[in-house]
Chain A
């Protein structure tokens, strides 16, 4: 059973107490005129995913706690959570990831 820690309300819970929302830090193409957004950019945003074997930044929702969304860094092979951080925090540098930084 995975154990998560919500950085918003501070509770600790099992994975069934949370809901995974998939890859984090995907940014919707910004434009006042949708014509300016190419099919390629929209495809990349909607469908293409990193799907790494290793560290992965992802969104989780604290469904049985405060209800807020937050981000987490998890190793997709060992299933270990390396960090939990709020939505307004920047994505950690996974290439030089230091477990002590969060």
Chain B
């Protein structure tokens, strides 16, 4: 791997930048691998990277029907936080957030992690109580979150509407100082480059069309570029997990929904924290380019159209104006949608299935980006050792049989 540094930059500048190598190879698929990962998004690439790095499993292929990071990894609002309510959730999201802290150095790729601080606004009495409870739960878990008063929130976000006459008056906020954002594409590229350097084959434009099994065990996958044998197959396909798992006859506790986001015209710096507001259903941060990155609620009915519906878009814009009336003259540049897989309890599904050798990592719903490093880390460990990593264990598929939910549906920052 061509290491990136100020010296390589200077050396390449002397040769007019003609000497840069490709960041990863584009190999032809081999006929057999130890592990085949279906889906080259952040979670899949992180899984491949940690399989190779932490467990020495390098005979790995990661397949994607399109280009890597072209699904939800490139379609989210890049928010990173770990201020969840349940201990199981705090464990995995905080592992992930803490891995983000050192990821640029580890991958030798600038992921632009920006722990700028994150506010979950309390706009109703109910939210006030819920978020105070979350602060306590976080403190018990050793997480750095705190409760801010209305005045403290106004100090951090001067533009916010704190009028007592507001339809949803500002009552305070849950604050995570080390929450923030990162560059989403860079996460995919950094993990792909790191995994490729360790010997993993990253194969793009290779759609999986079937999962071969014999006697209850997985034997490989059928793809648009031929059959590939595999001892283990790991499905990390986010919104399309149900479709892929159906190829192996496994029904999932998932529903796929379009979640959309939009970006405004670039403006001068005016918002240096991430602001989330569940009561009005919107969240916003300002990118380094100056654009406002805005997200909101998911569609009302399950679907696979990567557009998002107009009522959901209108709802998000309404929420934003409730928080920041000054944004009423902002023009929006782009809008897009990603297909998120919502599980029954709004928590992820990580682990083995009834088919031997078939693993699944899905159900991250609307909050998958923040979980990429932690999810890949524990999933790789679970695949390599054939037993769930302790942090992944509560998120097994069997919890739906045992009625052992990890209920984050009422605790989510933005309820979907």
Given A2-B309, A15-B309, A51-B255, answer yes or no on A40-B401 (Cβ-Cβ < 8 Å).
yes
B305 touches A78 (CB 8 A): yes
The digit string for A9-48, where 1 denotes a CB below 8 A from any CB of B, is: 0000011100110110000000000000001100110111
Name the residue on A nearest B243 (C-beta): A53
Name the residue on A nearest B314 (C-beta): A16
B contacts with A, residue count (CB < 8 A): 23
B251 touches A (CB below 8 Å): yes
Cβ contacts under 8 Å, B304 to chain A: 53, 76-77
Q: Identify which of B300, B309, B402 contacts A39 (C-beta below 8 A).
A: B402
* A70 vs chain B, min Cβ distance (A): 14
Q: Identify which of A16, A19, A79 contacts B303 (C-beta below 8 A).
A: A79
B112 touches A (CB below 8 Å): no
CA distance A58 to B301 in the complex (A): 9
A82 touches B (CB below 8 Å): no
Q: Identify which of B300, B309, B310, B402 contacts A19 (C-beta below 8 A).
A: B300
Given A43-B401, A53-B240, answer yes or no on A48-B252 (Cβ-Cβ < 8 Å).
yes
B77 touches A (CB below 8 Å): no
Given A1-B311, A15-B309, answer yes or no on A48-B301 (Cβ-Cβ < 8 Å).
no
Most buried by B among A1, A19, A20, A47: A47
Cβ contacts under 8 Å, A79 to chain B: 303, 305
CA distance A22 to B304 in the complex (A): 15
Cβ contacts under 8 Å, A39 to chain B: 401-403
Given A15-B311, A51-B255, A51-B256, answer yes or no on A56-B402 (Cβ-Cβ < 8 Å).
no
A49 touches B253 (CB 8 A): yes
B252 touches A77 (CB 8 A): no
Extra pairs beyond A49-B253, A76-B303, A79-B305 (5, CB < 8 Å): A1-B309, A2-B309, A39-B403, A51-B256, A51-B302
Using CB atoms and an 8 Å cutoff, list the residues of chain B in contact with chain A. Answer: 240, 242-243, 251-256, 300-305, 309-311, 344, 400-403
Closest 9 CB pairs of A and B: A47-B253, A51-B242, A20-B301, A47-B344, A48-B251, A76-B303, A47-B400, A53-B304, A20-B300
Using CB atoms and an 8 Å cutoff, list the residues of chain A in contact with chain B. Answer: 1-2, 14-16, 19-20, 22-23, 39-40, 43-44, 46-53, 56, 58, 74, 76-79
